Structure 1
Amino acid sequence: MSTQRPQLNLDQQLVIVTGASRGLGAAIARAFLREGAKVVVNYLNSADRAEALAAAAPDRALAVQADVRDPAAVAAMVARASQHFGQPVSTIVNNALPAFQFNGDARPHADTLDWAQMNAQIEGSVRAALNTTQAALPGMRAAGGGRIINVGTNLVQNPVVPYHDYTAAKAALLAFTRTLSHELGADGITVNMVSGGLLRTTDASAATPDAVFDMIAAGTPLREVTTPEQFADAVLFFACPWSRAVTGQNLIVDGGLVKG
């Protein structure tokens, strides 16, 4: 027997985008604002950028500082968002990335990688997703549903450059996405991942030579490197009612470079 659950259009949603002051996070926040959603622009250090983004839609955007690795800070952010907008958080986008540069020459190799580097990425990806999920869960359950969308990487399927720490953390986040989807489905909460390749251009990819971008573009069916704006549109799919029967999935958005 099927259960009819409430489905919110994008312009009815209250969305928290972590790490939303710049790069991919800012593109995701702008995409939700474009569709009429209320958006919390979470940031850690980039206050000016976050406030500027929020100022573009002052009635529907709120900049909130919170370290997503800190459960108390995340709980306070969720509470403030609900109080400010007068509704529970309906959608979480776990985008925040610990300090990282996609620089193949400077990456830690197998014989130099230490656990502190590995743990920094796990804390920033998996612990952050645990914190946001636990903080938003009561409101989502009370509302009869919600959306959790995690940002991953196609390096899990195709580790063409062995960024050990970053890729291992995102692989763990993918596993967490799937186990959460199994448990939270009964509450009407979907949990999915959107995984990109190297994006053109974000702060994290600023150290990547143009020749690498050109090589990636030549290898994709679309003959281009995915932009943050293109990636953000795919995130919207998992938030909107059209994806109501999709959970536990990993959608790779990289111009067709990696399959599956």
Structure 2
Amino acid sequence: MQINQQIVLVTGGARGLGAAITTTLVHAGAKVVVNYFKSHALAEQLQQQFPDQIFIYQTDVTDKIEVEQMFNAAKQHFGQAITSIINNALVDFKFNGEDRPKLTNLQWSEIQTQLDGAVHACLNTLQAGLPDMQAQHFGRIVNIGTNLVQNPVVPYHDYTAAKAALLAFTRTTAHELGEYGITVNMLSGGLLQTTDASHATPQVVFDLIASSTPLKKVVSPAEFADTVLFFLSPWSRVVTGQNLIVDGGLVKG
């Protein structure tokens, strides 16, 4: 299925990286369900800009019932079920190494919050979308990860543990869902310049990252969003269970 035939859900799709992904998909011709939790004004701006292609819906992605309602509402709005899911939403997190929880004061509740936002949310969207994807023998799932799993240069314990769990879940679900024509992959970025989550990061950190990459630059949200198109396109139809690191070549493998 071509991208311009797809209905794509982007969780957390109204701000930061999510907004960049939404815009990229719209320009590629897709219809997009923009999920948001608090960013109503930003979601409305996107809908007003692309009224024929964007449907906005407020949902707590950790709430199974709300997620099911969103899928049903999107199907009614577009007259077609969601075909593809970008699990992008990030729950209450800032990339600020100085303020991060240290191991000595880290609370399990902080890890649980990130697990809920990453793995629980992914489970909810997969289960809500699975019946229609099975019926049409097509589905594209892209989970957003982090290169900190491979290179934990800053020990964000809660965030990185959750994304590592999401990577494992990406691979197990890819194994189970392949027979239905559904692929499940992960895109893992480094620190992006700039999103809401990385706004608190000092410029000196961005400069250090840029000097350490082969491309001598920090990846932007728009550049990262472009790679989403590969996993949605027919070019990746036999690629599943993979983790593609998109960070300018900083981390290998």
- Do both proteins adopt the same fold according to a TM-score greater than 0.5, normalized to the shorter chain? yes
- Match of residue 132, structure 1, among 117, 125, 137: 125
Partner of residue 182, structure 2: 189
Partner of residue 109, structure 2: 116
Task: Please report the RMSD computed on the Cα atoms of aligned residues, expressed in angstroms.
Answer: 0.5
Cα distance in structure 2, aligned partners of 1:45 and 1:228: 20
- Match of residue 29, structure 1, among 22, 36, 45: 22
Instruction: State the SS of the aligned residue for 2:33.
Output: strand
Q: Give the C-alpha shift of residue 14 in structure 1.
A: 0.1
Contact 1:18 1:96 in 2 (8 A): yes
Partner of residue 3, structure 2: 10
Partner of residue 237, structure 2: 244
Corresponding letter in the other structure for 2:65: A
Matched, 1:38 2:31: yes
The one-character-per-residue Cα deviations of 1:137-161 (angstroms, maximum 9, x if unpaired) are: 0010111110010000000000000
The one-character-per-residue Cα deviations of 1:114-142 (angstroms, maximum 9, x if unpaired) are: 00000000000000000000000001011
Q: Give the C-alpha shift of residue 192 in structure 1.
A: 0.1
Instruction: State the SS of the aligned residue for 1:105.
Output: coil
Contact 1:199 1:228 in 2 (8 A): yes
Unaligned runs of 5+ in 2: none
Matched, 1:55 2:48: yes
Poorly superposed stretches of 4+, deviation over 2 Å: none
Corresponding letter in the other structure for 1:162: P
User: How many aligned positions are there?
Assistant: 253
Corresponding letter in the other structure for 2:215: L
Partner of residue 62, structure 2: 69
Matched, 1:161 2:154: yes
Q: Give the C-alpha shift of residue 56 in structure 1.
A: 1.1
Partner of residue 219, structure 1: 212
Cα distance in structure 2, aligned partners of 1:84 and 1:241: 25
Instruction: State the SS of the aligned residue for 2:210.
Output: helix
Unaligned runs of 5+ in 1: 1-7
The one-character-per-residue Cα deviations of 1:79-136 (angstroms, maximum 9, x if unpaired) are: 1111110111110000000010100010001110000000000000000000000000
The one-character-per-residue Cα deviations of 1:11-58 (angstroms, maximum 9, x if unpaired) are: 000000000110000000000000110001110011010011121110
Partner of residue 222, structure 2: 229
Cα distance in structure 1, aligned partners of 2:203 and 2:243: 28
Percent identity between matched residues is 62
